[in-house]
Structure 1
Amino acid sequence: MPVAGLLLWASLLTGAWPAAPTQDHFQAMPRVRLSFKELKATGTAHFFNFLLNTTDYRILLKDEDHDRMYVGSKDYVLSLDLHDINREPLIIHWAASPQRIEECVLSGKDGNGECGNFVRLIQPWNRTHLYVCGTGAYNPMCTYVNRGRRAQDYIFYLEPERLESGKGKCPYDPKLETASALINEELYAGVYIDFMGTDAAIFRTLGKQTAMRTDQYNSRWLNDPSFIHAELIPDSAERNDDKLYFFFRERSAEAPQSPAVYARIGRICLNDDGGHCCLVNKWSTFLKARLVCSVPAEDGIETHFDELQDVFVQQTQDVRNPVIYAVFTSSGSVFRGSAVCVYSMADIRMVFNGPFAHKEGPNYQWMPFSGKMPYPRPGTCPGGTFTPSMKSTKDYPDEVINFMRSHPLMYQAVYPLQRRPLVVRTGAAYRLTTVAVDQVDAADGRYEVLFLGTDRGTVQKVIVLPKDDQEVEELMLEEVEVFKDPAPVKTMTISSKRQQLYVASAVGVTHLSLHRCQAYGAACADCCLARDPYCAWDGQACSRYTASSKRRSRRQDVRHGNPIRQCRGFNANANKNAVESVQYGVVGSAAFLECQPRSPQAAIKWLFQRDPSDRRREIRAEDRFLRTEQGLLLRALQLGDRGLYSCTATENNFKHVVTRVQLHVLGRDAVHAALFPPPASAPPAPGVSAPTPAYQELAQLLAQPEVGLIHQYCQGYWRHVPPSPREAPGTPRPPEPQDQKKSRNRRHHPPDT
């Protein structure tokens, strides 16, 4: 990871973080929000759901070398083109046998929702084959798929003769999550291995080493876990020190009387051969620690997000120190929220090198273990940096094995960088479900762009920037609906090489571009204010930023977004793009002046000018003036409200006019005269002047039924119709027959169209 340009991480490591997230940090608003229809109209997204009789799509493997993406769903394995997921997809139909489905239904399971072959594991076996596993209608099964040696081979078929049991590799129940990694032809999987879903384990199968698992039915090791992710992260240059990390959530063993759920990170040594005595064919290096993601308050009470949902490991130039991004949600029924926390491997290793959790004392409380530590230290890999003389865990002394079985938990927890979340969502109508991160090179450095999936089928694009006053600023660049029928985002993956994001849910798969620069606007100021590291003003439009583009016309300022400095020479016509309109209103009625700036992050002001010689003044919120997100509402219009209204938007000290509205306020008598003019021979009624040209223009507009203005201006007006111009005020009207009254009502009341 280049040091120069990593502004965010520099601020994190030097302590440039707010004492507490600001309110804006909690309630981020997207600069651009696109519906699924609007997203498709941009031409930057493609949606795949060819298979109408299947559900539960999961992106399980991205293969950049073959230009393919492998997706599992109910009864199908898909191979999709990374360039265009709709171009010649390769499809394998892999369903459970009818006999097995019948047995599944007879056992009490749902024939449609559970008794199918839900593909849950796709791992690369070698250059030509994949290893795939499915639930098999509550009888997990695995086999190999031939994908060819090259992308041009266009090969994709199942090898049924190599079908084998999937127990310990894939769950029986499709609702239970699994996390797996295939390393050196050995499969490591966190999975439930029984029909009832009560026996959870971290398994090692296949390969030449001994099959291994965690201690069975031992709540200190695993307590009703949900597995999220598995990742190999080396500790040092010594291969024997390599460890596989599992991320999961489980019921807390520290508080057995409460239903609390804790997020965990566990690890095992790849060369673990198990122990002896009580740990034969069981891990003798398994350790776990709590992952904390919480918001500290001034009173010292922390608001915790404990439900781990997703993990993304961002690789750096140092393979031993990737950056860990994790999505959490709150587990309580009262407080609803989500957060993204970031962890460093240095902090994780420090916790695993710290004290072990131990129960002792009269109240049998959890305390740090303070007794004599056996050698080698429990959790150390054999043949590694600290145990060069021990070639196998079977050589470990009895006290090490016994200690490991009873002390798998570390006393200290792993806290995120600066001990607080990077992104927080509270009070929102959704929860975050997934995260993917891309590193982007911009004109002023390298930035981390977060793509956050939600349970309502949207993806948010977010960057977090350090501010000059020792705080951070979260910017939600866009939020897009990625599915026609909203469904929670299940999995996501990024191809930086192709600048594409791939998103999967129960209803299908969508791939979309990482950037839609043209959506920010057609002006240099709009492009600069967006502060999207993917985009820059090229002199004519907001377009994809490339380091090789001409510097003379390129304008980009991600950190500050200052269009006054960056767009000098391009801002002359900023106010000429304002929307100008004319509106009419009637005394006593209401008028709504619409103003929707391109950015919801801009501060809006309304200015009023009665005539060109008058001074403009700002409209303050009061009884008759109501400011909304869509514009300004004027209630009970008065003749003095006529004039020019200007809506201005200010963002980063850059101000421009969004809308100008010339409002004409008409008296009721004049409107009535325009609507129902007297015959040419009839003299005007006393007190009613002849129609002015403005009123005549209004009468012409109202006379056009297709415009629909009759309905707009006259709703509620008929209840207060003044006397006819043909009659003097106070002249009594003779009674009229009922049929004539109905005829008059039909004539005077316009149809409700």
Structure 2
Amino acid sequence: MRPAGSAGPAARQTQPPAGEVTMVPTLLQLLLLWLLGAGGRMDGSQPRLRLSFQELKARHGLRTYGLERSCCYEALLLDEERGRLFVGGKNYLASLSLDNISKQDQKIYWPAPVEWREECNWAGKDINAECMNFVKILHLYNRTHLLACGTGAFHPTCAYVEVGQRLEEPVFRLDPAAVEDGKGKSPYDPRHTAASVLVGEELYAGVATDLMGRDFTIFRSLGPRPSIRTEQHDSRWLNEPRFVDVFWIPESENPDDDKIYFFFRETAVEGPPGLGKSSFARVGQICRNDLGGQRSLVNKWTTFLKARLVCAVPGSDGGDTFFDELRDVFLLRTKDMRNPLVYAVFSTSSSVFRGSAVCLYNMRDIRRAFLGPFAHKEGPSYQWVSFQGRVPYPRPGMCPSKTFGTFSSTKDFPDDVIQFARNHPLMASPVLPQGRRPLFLQTAGAATFTRIAVDRVAAADGHYDVLFIGTDIGTVLKVVSVPKESWQNMEELLLEELQVFKDSSPVTSMQLSSKRQQLYVGSPSALAQLPLHRCWIYGKGCAECCLARDPYCAWNGTSCTRYMPNTKRRFRRQDVRNGDPNMLCSGDPQRGSVLERRLYGVEGSSVFLECVPKSLQARVLWSYQKASGAPLKEVQPDERVLQTERGLLLRSVARRDAGLYHCQATEHGFTQGLLRLWLEVLGPRGEPLAAPPHSKPWYQDFLQLVDHPNLGAVDQLCHQLRGRQQPPPAQPHKWQLLEEARRARKRRTHELPRAERGPRSAAAW
């Protein structure tokens, strides 16, 4: 029964306190650092920050969830009103808290019947991998129920899940008596995707409707009206399609003009002959009030049209590089409900060239393509050209309404209109993206874009669309598009690369909550939840916060925090468009303060001067001073001095290398000091050869104690060192030398007569 009442990352380095002493790393560490950084910095496709799964889990609010003996979390439904995330997986439905998916979970075990599984296995399918119920469809059906559909071990099935009407009602149950046939709603095969939207009581779905996966159709089911579909076995309509997404978009104030838009990719019928199969991205439209024809196209769409979606990089020689494998679509609603923005993710189908792209489309351009010329196959070689003959009235693709004519139903359309619609579903003009090129592009990386979610963020200098792009290696890219000279000329900023899944499984679903500022990501192995922003990670200074150019973040006078448009703060500073610290941070008290450290190296051995900026897009500059007042000289790499991604490697330290090294980072035209390193060179036996002025080497006290044991002086020095902060484990060398001094003292004092040993100290080593 149907319910009633329907409505890899580079780790960040933490610097020790000023004045802390660092000894030379081991030779093995130096070689490893050199090998990792020998290639230098990457190009502009490098993210500004890269965070590993462990870092996100430990310090940045990443939460994960998984069901035992389940997988494949493709169906996600975000319900802001109830504060729940509904999830469909293998044999399970789950209801999770939007605030924390790891807590307050509710589960429904929904397997396929045993007889269906056995029948599936007899048909040659894997009983454990394929003969299960994989949930593919989740929709809010009304105020109290969800519509859920799954593969049902190659027996598509749907059910209505009660979820309660209010947030306080912890209801989550499935009525086994309310299960019904899912053909035309869910695919048979778990490897196939389905795209659907529920409008009122009617479900519009792009899905395979047969066991073999050969009859793909756009199907309308449920509701009081008869079911309706695309023409069967006609490659001009659909040719091996893979449906990606579908949306209901109003056309005018009159609901009779509403249309349903399908986004899919298919084998192109108009592809160049003799070059094999070509995959094209498509957008298709149907009228919501289409009832089919009276004598022809009975119970078939009479308003179905499709056009090519082009996402390409224009070539200098006139040849374009196309991205035709449509992967995902995100509809960004605007104040004008009739004109949302369409963000689409593409990859290439070429075996030679690999890349991914994001293109942005305007609904006006999509509608303009459907009002343009129809594609027609004619001539001796049967080439596809623009149709030049008479187009019947009413124009095919128009909805029957009082807005554009006097027809009240598609059953009233003349026969010539129906025949033209049957033979000419393809438009001649493609839909081009805004700017005639991709908004964001990656061609050198190993990852392929799979999913996208977009958040419109209010900043101090305007509104920005922040893109969250999932990949096939379990990462999420955070990208913001910033105008250069004008809003037509855009600059893409790759802010973050986040490894959200430990096993690098591909991102298969995404939902974004602007209200809670959270992103929810699904993969075959797990679910993940993480915040949209991590402002404090950019640094502790105004310049670092400004250089990040993150629309979510601003400098409030003391720290980099979330930007709130309605909050009046005297010291709030943000400039996403320009990101110029010289303009915003001139009065910052921390500006100009640079951390200073000491480093010791032995003559003839190697020493590594480590300096890692927070931003991977920054370029590091090294300069050298012999003493504090001496002139600065730029460090020139050669066969002895290697500049790596993590610092300078001096392969054979000489006396002339002693002095002050300045590490500076240049990014977006702004240069700031990161670190000053005093390098002191020791002789082969540990004796000082050259030292920074006005500084006393700390180890001289130990050398004196080793030669002339004095228990009182040793105890006093140990007491001073114990009062200091415990050094990090990565810097044990100073304490090892202290231990050696203690052992030498004990050996020598035991060799002395008792009277010469001095009084016994109460201090313990």
TM-score by length of 2: 0.83
Aligned partner of 2:712 in structure 1 is none
Alignment check: 8 A CA contact 1:44 1:516 kept? no
Aligned partner of 1:83 in structure 2 is 99
Q: Mapping of 1:581-620 within 5 angstroms?
A: 581-587=598-604, 589-620=605-636
Aligned partner of 2:140 in structure 1 is 124
Aligned-pair CA distance for 1:413: 0.5
Match of 1:634 among 640, 643, 650: 650
Answer yes or no: is 1:68 the counterpart of 2:84: yes
Match of 2:595 among 557, 578, 600: 578
Match of 1:557 among 562, 571, 575: 575
Aligned partner of 1:464 in structure 2 is 481
Q: Secondary structure at the residue paired with 1:418?
A: helix
Answer yes or no: is 1:518 the counterpart of 2:536: yes
Alignment check: 8 A CA contact 2:296 2:415 kept? no
How many aligned positions are there? 665
Answer yes or no: is 1:275 the counterpart of 2:293: yes
Match of 2:205 among 176, 182, 189: 189
Take 2:463 and 2:287, find their aligned partners in 1: how far apart are those partners?
A: 34
Aligned partner of 1:737 in structure 2 is none
Aligned partner of 2:726 in structure 1 is none
Aligned partner of 1:478 in structure 2 is 496
Aligned partner of 2:268 in structure 1 is 252
Aligned-pair CA distance for 1:300: 1.0
Alignment check: 8 A CA contact 1:358 1:407 kept? yes
Alignment deviations for residues 142-178 of structure 1 (CA, whole Å, 9 cap, x no partner): 1111111111111111011121111111000011010
Aligned-pair CA distance for 1:394: 1.4
Residues 700, 500 of structure 1: alpha-carbon distance in 2 compared, 3 angstrom cutoff: farther
Aligned partner of 1:390 in structure 2 is 407
Take 1:229 and 1:111, find their aligned partners in 2: how far apart are those partners?
A: 29
Q: Secondary structure at the residue paired with 2:168?
A: helix
Q: Secondary structure at the residue paired with 1:189?
A: strand
Q: Secondary structure at the residue paired with 2:547?
A: helix
Q: List alignment gaps of at least 5 residues for structure 2.
A: 1-40, 689-695, 708-728, 738-765
Match of 2:393 among 375, 383, 402: 375
Aligned-pair CA distance for 1:625: 2.6
RMSD over aligned CA atoms reads: 2.6
Q: Mapping of 1:659-698 within 5 angstroms?
A: 659-666=675-682, 670-672=683-685
Q: Secondary structure at the residue paired with 1:580?
A: strand
Take 2:402 and 2:602, find their aligned partners in 1: how far apart are those partners?
A: 83
Aligned partner of 2:110 in structure 1 is 94
Answer yes or no: is 1:434 the counterpart of 2:447: no
Aligned partner of 1:13 in structure 2 is none
Aligned-pair CA distance for 1:78: 1.1
Residues 273, 592 of structure 1: alpha-carbon distance in 2 compared, 3 angstrom cutoff: same
Counterpart residue identity of residue 578, structure 1: L
Residues 241, 610 of structure 1: alpha-carbon distance in 2 compared, 3 angstrom cutoff: same
Alignment deviations for residues 274-323 of structure 1 (CA, whole Å, 9 cap, x no partner): 11444111111110000000000211111111100000000011111000
Take 1:706 and 1:520, find their aligned partners in 2: how far apart are those partners?
A: 24
Answer yes or no: is 1:231 the counterpart of 2:218: no
Counterpart residue identity of residue 191, structure 1: V
Take 1:579 and 1:329, find their aligned partners in 2: how far apart are those partners?
A: 47
Alignment deviations for residues 349-395 of structure 1 (CA, whole Å, 9 cap, x no partner): 111000000011111100000011111111111124212x2111111
Residues 252, 610 of structure 1: alpha-carbon distance in 2 compared, 3 angstrom cutoff: same
Answer yes or no: is 1:505 the counterpart of 2:518: no
Alignment deviations for residues 538-569 of structure 1 (CA, whole Å, 9 cap, x no partner): 12211111123333121211111122221232
Aligned-pair CA distance for 1:25: 12
Take 1:629 and 1:698, find their aligned partners in 2: how far apart are those partners?
A: 36
Take 1:596 and 1:83, find their aligned partners in 2: how far apart are those partners?
A: 35
Residues 663, 700 of structure 1: alpha-carbon distance in 2 compared, 3 angstrom cutoff: farther
Alignment check: 8 A CA contact 1:181 1:187 kept? yes
Aligned partner of 1:404 in structure 2 is 421
Aligned-pair CA distance for 1:530: 0.9
Alignment check: 8 A CA contact 1:343 1:417 kept? yes
Alignment check: 8 A CA contact 1:702 1:709 kept? no
Aligned partner of 1:658 in structure 2 is 674
Alignment check: 8 A CA contact 2:75 2:87 kept? yes
Aligned partner of 1:718 in structure 2 is none
Aligned-pair CA distance for 1:607: 0.2
Residues 709, 540 of structure 1: alpha-carbon distance in 2 compared, 3 angstrom cutoff: closer
Take 1:561 and 1:701, find their aligned partners in 2: how far apart are those partners?
A: 55
Take 1:613 and 1:181, find their aligned partners in 2: how far apart are those partners?
A: 72
Take 2:624 and 2:705, find their aligned partners in 1: how far apart are those partners?
A: 26
Aligned-pair CA distance for 1:699: 7.6
Alignment check: 8 A CA contact 1:674 1:698 kept? no
Take 2:399 and 2:500, find their aligned partners in 1: how far apart are those partners?
A: 45
Residues 98, 573 of structure 1: alpha-carbon distance in 2 compared, 3 angstrom cutoff: same
Aligned-pair CA distance for 1:661: 2.0
Aligned-pair CA distance for 1:254: 0.9
Counterpart residue identity of residue 297, structure 1: G
Alignment check: 8 A CA contact 2:602 2:684 kept? no
Q: Secondary structure at the residue paired with 2:178?
A: strand
Answer yes or no: is 1:447 the counterpart of 2:464: yes
Counterpart residue identity of residue 41, structure 1: A
Alignment check: 8 A CA contact 1:26 1:425 kept? no
Aligned-pair CA distance for 1:511: 1.5
Take 1:224 and 1:25, find their aligned partners in 2: how far apart are those partners?
A: 40
Q: Secondary structure at the residue paired with 2:351?
A: coil
Residues 451, 578 of structure 1: alpha-carbon distance in 2 compared, 3 angstrom cutoff: same
Take 1:701 and 1:495, find their aligned partners in 2: how far apart are those partners?
A: 65
Counterpart residue identity of residue 555, structure 2: W
Take 1:95 and 1:225, find their aligned partners in 2: how far apart are those partners?
A: 29
Match of 2:283 among 235, 242, 265: 265
Counterpart residue identity of residue 658, structure 2: R
Match of 1:38 among 43, 52, 55: 55
Aligned-pair CA distance for 1:693: 7.3
Q: Mapping of 1:642-653 within 5 angstroms?
A: 642-653=658-669
Q: Secondary structure at the residue paired with 1:263?
A: strand
Residues 203, 25 of structure 1: alpha-carbon distance in 2 compared, 3 angstrom cutoff: farther
Aligned partner of 1:316 in structure 2 is 334
Aligned-pair CA distance for 1:706: 11
Take 1:105 and 1:458, find their aligned partners in 2: how far apart are those partners?
A: 35
| Deviation larger for 184-193 or 81-90 | 81-90
Alignment deviations for residues 164-199 of structure 1 (CA, whole Å, 9 cap, x no partner): 111111000011010001112111100001111111
Alignment deviations for residues 641-694 of structure 1 (CA, whole Å, 9 cap, x no partner): 22221111123443222122222344xxx415869xxxxxxxxxxxxxxxx979
Counterpart residue identity of residue 671, structure 1: P
Take 1:213 and 1:261, find their aligned partners in 2: how far apart are those partners?
A: 23
TM-score by length of 1: 0.84
Counterpart residue identity of residue 316, structure 2: E
Residues 275, 25 of structure 1: alpha-carbon distance in 2 compared, 3 angstrom cutoff: farther
Take 1:702 and 1:359, find their aligned partners in 2: how far apart are those partners?
A: 96
Residues 38, 61 of structure 1: alpha-carbon distance in 2 compared, 3 angstrom cutoff: same
Take 2:270 and 2:62, find their aligned partners in 1: how far apart are those partners?
A: 47
Take 1:307 and 1:657, find their aligned partners in 2: how far apart are those partners?
A: 45
Take 1:174 and 1:524, find their aligned partners in 2: how far apart are those partners?
A: 51
Counterpart residue identity of residue 494, structure 2: M
Take 1:673 and 1:618, find their aligned partners in 2: how far apart are those partners?
A: 29
Alignment check: 8 A CA contact 1:701 1:707 kept? no
Alignment check: 8 A CA contact 1:27 1:426 kept? no
Alignment check: 8 A CA contact 1:239 1:384 kept? no
Aligned partner of 2:512 in structure 1 is 494
